[in-house]
Amino acid sequence: MSSSRATSSYTFRFRSRRGIVMCWRVKQCGTDEDILECCFEKGRRLNDGDLFVWNGFASKLGWRDSVAPRLEQRKQEMGIAGRDDIQCIPDLIDFDEGRLSEASKTP
């Protein structure tokens, strides 16, 4: 499972108890916007409090939690096991998409 799929799984559990329906919707493909709209149709739109809680959760996903072993596995697979600056899933995504600066890379 890719880190984005793992994150999607957590997203659907947070968004709604209708996780099975949402997982089915992701497998049907579509744009991110289509899938988000489906979440709104099957659940509800998020309020500011929901967004605050979600952002706090998502920003630390993989840091000292049940996802940490998967983060380490992905770092190993990507050949970056020694990158101590990559401590959570958002860090890994930033690395994968080229947003981490060269200065933060370990020798």
Of residues 66, 72, 64, the one with CA closest to residue 9: 66
What was the pLDDT predicted at 2?
47
Three-state SS string over the chain comes to CCHHHHHHHHHHHHHCCCHHHHHHHHHCCCCHHHHHHHHHHHCCCCCHHHHHHHHHHHHHCCCCCCCHHHHHHHHHHCCCCCCCCCCCHHHHHHHHCCCCCHHHCCC
Give the C-alpha separation, 107 to 101, whole Å: 13
The angle formed by the CA atoms of residues 17, 21 and 26, to the nearest 5 degrees, is 115
Q: What tens digit of pLDDT does each residue of 47-75 get?
A: 999 889 989 999 999 999 999 999 999 99
Q: What tens digit of pLDDT does each residue of 77-91 get?
A: 999 999 999 999 999
What was the pLDDT predicted at 32?
80
- Residue 104 clears pLDDT 90, i.e. is over it: no
